[in-house]
Every structure is written in C-alpha cells, then in structure tokens.
C-alpha cells in the first residue's frame, strides 16, 4: 500500500489504531483512584452515622479513601520536580501531625492504634499532595481534609468542640477541591 496507509476491505480484521479522544492511561488511573476514594468516603460517612457508631470501621473506610487519593497524587510526580515550597509544606504537615498525635495520645484510649494508623495514612496523603505537581486546588483539598479530621479529633480526644459547622464546611470544601 502506497504511503504505508492500510486499505480496509470488507471482512478484514485490520489493526486497531489508538483512539485520541480517550484519556491517557495515567489520567484514567488518577480519575479511577479519585472515584474509588469518593466511594470509600461515602462508606466511611455511613459507618459513622450508624447507631452505635462504627468508629474503627469508619476510620478504616476513610483510610482506604486516603490511600486512593495518595495514589492519585503519586500520578502527578515528575522526577526531580519537587520544589522547595512543596518540601517545606510536606515538612510542616509531618511536624504538625506528629505534634498533634503526641498531644492526643494520652486521651485516645481504645482508638489509640486505629487513630494513629489513620493519622499516618492521611498525613502521608497530604505529604504526597504537597510534594506532587498536582493542581494547587487539589493540594488545598488534601490539606482541608486533614483540617476537618483534626477538628473531629479535637472533639473526640480532647473534648474541644470545633466551631459550629466547621467540620462539614472543611469536609465538603475538601471533597469539591479533590474532585
């Protein structure tokens, strides 16, 4: 065939050409991870609304969601492109997380190990966000999610009521920014 173009005849199987209108495989994986995270968060919300509340199961569902978000943020990594600002923010997130865990630890009771595990997962997700080349709004969503959970932890472990509506406002805004 002249010029390398194939001529299709009726009944020829032919060679499939890649479709240009489909997302790139990495983008598809990031979208899939974000979608799976949203589904796990819905499950976590449901478990926390049950009576009696299923706190450990809810933490586990949210933990899985943050692992999926972490996978999505990992898709934004480019070798050698983590900036100084990202490193500084990641260091700040890690430092604040460790200090909060030390402060909460004495009052965590039976939630000590599930809570610490969950905190490690969400901290890792936010650090991945800060180190990645993800859009700034997605990074803000990750940080707001951690803030929302920190407000819950203040109440849960220290008996400090967060300002009225602040948990849902930060949680909903985080969801929108991560979508």
Task: Give yes or no for a contact between 93 and 44, defined as CB atoms under 8 angstroms apart.
Answer: no
d(CA 104, CA 51) in angstroms, rounded, equals 25
Give the residue ranges of the chain where pLDDT is below 50: 1, 16, 18-19, 22
Residue 18: what pLDDT?
46
| Confidence (pTM) | 0.77
Predicted local distance difference test score (pLDDT) of residue 21: 54
Q: Kindly report the number of other CB atoms within 10 A of residue 151's CB atom.
A: 20
DSSP labels for 117-146? HHHHHHHHHHHHHHHS---HHHHHHHHHHH
pLDDT tens-digit series, residues 72-114: 888 887 655 778 899 999 999 999 999 999 999 999 999 999 9
Q: Alpha-carbon torsion 85, 94, 126, 152, what sign?
A: negative
């Amino acid at each position: 065939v002249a010029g390398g173009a194939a001529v299709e005849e009726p009944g020829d199987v032919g060679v499939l050409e890649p479709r240009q209108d489909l997302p790139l495989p990495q983008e598809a994986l990031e979208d899939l991870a974000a979608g799976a995270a949203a589904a796990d968060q819905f499950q976590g919300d449901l478990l926390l609304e049950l009576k009696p509340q299923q706190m450990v199961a809810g933490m586990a569902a949210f933990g899985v969601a943050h692992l999926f978000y972490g996978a999505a943020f990992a898709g934004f990594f480019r070798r050698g492109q983590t900036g100084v600002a990202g490193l500084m923010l990641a260091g700040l997130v890690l430092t604040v997380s460790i200090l909060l865990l030390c402060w909460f630890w004495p009052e965590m009771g039976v939630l000590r190990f599930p809570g610490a595990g969950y905190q490690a997962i969400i901290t890792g997700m936010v650090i991945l966000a800060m180190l990645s080349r993800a859009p700034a709004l997605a990074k803000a969503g990750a940080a707001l999610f951690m803030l929302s959970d920190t407000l819950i932890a203040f109440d849960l472990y220290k008996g400090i009521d967060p300002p009225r509506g602040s948990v849902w406002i930060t949680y909903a805004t985080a969801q929108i920014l991560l979508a």
